[in-house]
Amino acid sequence: MRAAYLLNVLSSFAGLASSTILQNGQVRITDYPNTVLSASTAQFKTYPPNATELSYKGRWDSKYISWWSAPGLKFGFTGEQVAITFGPYTTDTTLIGYRIDGQDWQFTNVTTNATHLLVSPSTPGVNLTTPINPSTFELRVTNWGYGVQIASVHIGKGEKLIKIPDFGRTIEVIGDSLSAGQYSTFEGLSSYAYGLGAGLGDTEYHLTAYPGICLFDKRCYGNLRGMFYQWYHTSDTSGRAIDIWGDKPEVWDFSKQTAADIVVINLGTNDNNSANNVTTDGYVAQYTMLIEGIHAVYPKAQIVLIALWEGFGAVGNTYEQATLTSDVGYVPQIYSIYQYFNSKEYLQNPILYDPVKNATYASHKPSDPFVHYFNTTGILQHNDIGPQYHPTDVGHIKLASHLIQYIKLKFDWPLYATGPEVQHDTLYWNDQSSY
Ligand SMILES: *[C@@H]1O[C@H](CO)[C@@H](O)[C@H](O)[C@H]1NC(C)=O
Ligand SMILES: *[C@@H]1O[C@H](CO)[C@@H](O)[C@H](O)[C@H]1NC(C)=O
Ligand SMILES: *[C@@H]1O[C@H](CO)[C@@H](O)[C@H](O)[C@H]1NC(C)=O
Ligand SMILES: *[C@@H]1O[C@H](CO)[C@@H](O)[C@H](O)[C@H]1NC(C)=O
Ligand SMILES: *[C@@H]1O[C@H](CO)[C@@H](O)[C@H](O)[C@H]1NC(C)=O
Ligand SMILES: *[C@@H]1O[C@H](CO)[C@@H](O)[C@H](O)[C@H]1NC(C)=O
Ligand SMILES: *[C@@H]1O[C@H](CO)[C@@H](O)[C@H](O)[C@H]1NC(C)=O
Ligand SMILES: *[C@@H]1O[C@H](CO)[C@@H](O)[C@H](O)[C@H]1NC(C)=O
């Protein structure tokens, strides 16, 4: 949301392992294992990063470098060992979450050019073969600004990788720091966007979110381009992306993944900040064209526009949401965009957007309504926002829970997550029956 903070955080963390998690200003004890393997990889069977058995989640480029929020890698394997060699474009000390089957997430920080042994005979559950068979390995990068490069994947000699088919439904979240989980414990893996995708269960989720980004295509908080441009590209707007791809990011090949069934957009908090000089008309025009572009790429997707909340403040002897007490947050603009897409005029002759020509065109084919408005008022309260203006871990969980229920009721999506952990390290409870 505010890259002034984001840049401070990046620089102050530069000398620290990224696995240092600050919790209300205190260092959280993490004790994540060091998984670097110093032994030779000759003991393994090795697969290249383009092995067809590997499924990449979110956006990865042609060099197998991860981008945006919580990008993932998933595959099935036989045996009791998985090691991964991370390439030279890996950000040193990137914290990853990884798990097998329905076990809880584990964490480790990744070293550039190193091989990490992530599954071994001592991994809980590795010797159990039911009900999930073959065993499934998944990893997710937690931090939006850091990334990893997959150089190779290793398993035991004589064992094999197995392709895990995609789940039958897909969701994409397009957003800024609020969706990337900035200032939450595990960042991407604590975000409402992840909580939504993983919390629905049996759903592919791709989180195209980056802190500080505007929807409108201009420089915002150090991000050189807005989502209106960047959504069509593989890499995000980080300095890391500029170091690797300069001003020629790879164009994202949407055919690499199953088309999204639901797209959730949460953009405008950075546009609606006087630091970034976006005009209201410009925001509305490019938001409209972004939706027209998404509709061209994913013609069957339902698109949910999240209303902005812009924080809370003390008002007299209570607290109020800023969007209710002052003219902020582009709330009426987002509602009017929703109305526009549901107007008879639009639905009878939908307009689409072509990013190559940077121009709109008429589709000449009537459409059913596909744009929805998600009203956030009443979900978060003032103490769900941390001192850095972003939802706390609890705030993220509330938003995710409401979105899950909204999607269930609105689109008739059953909830398939029925046991395995979604949010990690949220087990707070009272273990005394009386004080
Ligand atoms: C994280 O990685 C860095 C660099 O390799 C290392 O110095 C540090 O000990 C690691 N921390 C943990 C908790 O694994
Ligand atoms: C993977 O890349 C190698 C080297 O570029 C190439 O020879 C091979 O055909 C590729 N494999 C697949 C499955 O694309
Ligand atoms: C990683 O390996 C490459 C060669 O493959 C080397 O150029 C680079 O300096 C190494 N990076 C680190 C941080 O060790
Ligand atoms: C799996 O390994 C654990 C720990 O070593 C052991 O207690 C358990 O009996 C094993 N289970 C099976 C099915 O082999
Ligand atoms: C923020 O949005 C409100 C509408 O809610 C608008 O009146 C105001 O001009 C916007 N401010 C900025 C800086 O974009
Ligand atoms: C916003 O506009 C003002 C006045 O034109 C200018 O001084 C400032 O540099 C601009 N800021 C950004 C981030 O574009
Ligand atoms: C694309 O078109 C929009 C609307 O006409 C315009 O505001 C924007 O500057 C154009 N972008 C580029 C990169 O030409
Ligand atoms: C959003 O919800 C709030 C609280 O229920 C309500 O006051 C407001 O009218 C709703 N906005 C829209 C556009 O429906």
Percentage of the residues of the chain whose pLDDT score is greater than 70: 96
Do 32-162 and 170-411 share a fold? no
- The Cα 329–Cα 247 span in angstroms is 30
Quote the DSSP letter at residue 23. E
The pLDDT, as a whole number, for residue 225 is: 98
For 353, the 3-state DSSP assignment is: strand
Q: Which mutation among 1, 267, 272 tests ligand 5's pocket best, with the greatest number of atoms within 8 A of CB?
A: 272
What does DSSP say about strands 66-77 and 55-60: parallel, antiparallel, or unpaired? Answer: antiparallel
Name the residue of 89, 111, 113 to mutate for ligand 3: max ligand atoms within 8 A of Cβ. 113
pLDDT for position 19: 62
Burial (0-12, 13-18, 19+ Cβ within 10 Å), 61: buried
Name which residue sits closest to atom 7 of ligand 8, judged by CA: 377
- Nearest ligand for residue 54 CA: 2
**Ligand 5 binding pocket mutation candidate from 325, 330, 331, 334 (most atoms within 8 A of CB):** 330
What residues contact 230, with CB distance under 8 A and at least 6 apart?
210, 213, 236, 237, 249
Q: What is the percentage of the chain residues whose pLDDT exceeds 90?
A: 90
Helix or strand or coil: residue 419?
coil
> Could you confirm whether domain 32-162 is CATH 2.60.120.260?
yes
Between vectors from CA 358 to CA 352 and to CA 361, what angle results, nearest 5°? 30
Give tens-digit pLDDT for 239-262: 999 999 999 999 999 999 999 999
Which residues of 112-228 form beta strands (DSSP E)?
Answer: 115-119, 135-141, 150-156, 161-162, 170-175, 204-209
What gap in Å lies between CA 260 and CA 172, rounded to an integer?
Answer: 6
Q: pTM surpassing 0.75?
A: yes
Domain extents in the chain: 32-162, 170-411
Q: Is 328 in the pocket of ligand 5 (CB under 6 A)?
A: yes
CA angle 370, 375, 381 (to 5 degrees): 155
* 50 Cβ inside 6 Å of ligand 2: yes
Whether the CB-CB separation of 367 and 356 falls below 8 Å is answered with no
Which atom of ligand 1 is least distant from the CA of 109? 1
Over residues 206-223, mean pLDDT: 98
* CATH number belonging to the domain at 170-411, selected among 3.40.50.1110, 3.40.50.720, 3.40.50.300, 1.20.140.90: 3.40.50.1110
Q: What is the pLDDT of residue 336?
A: 98
Ligand nearest to the CA of 327: 5
Distance CA 86, CA 75 (A): 16
Which ligand has the nearest atom to the CA of 91?
3
CA of 242 to the centre of ligand 3 (A): 19
Q: Are 263 and 302 in contact (CB under 8 A)?
A: yes
* Placement of tokens 């414990």 in the chain: 185
Nearest CA, atom 7, ligand 5: 327
Provide the pLDDT for residue 1: 39
Mean pLDDT for 83-112 is 97
More confident position, 21 or 196: 196
How confident is residue 434, by pLDDT bands cut at 50, 70 and 90?
Answer: confident
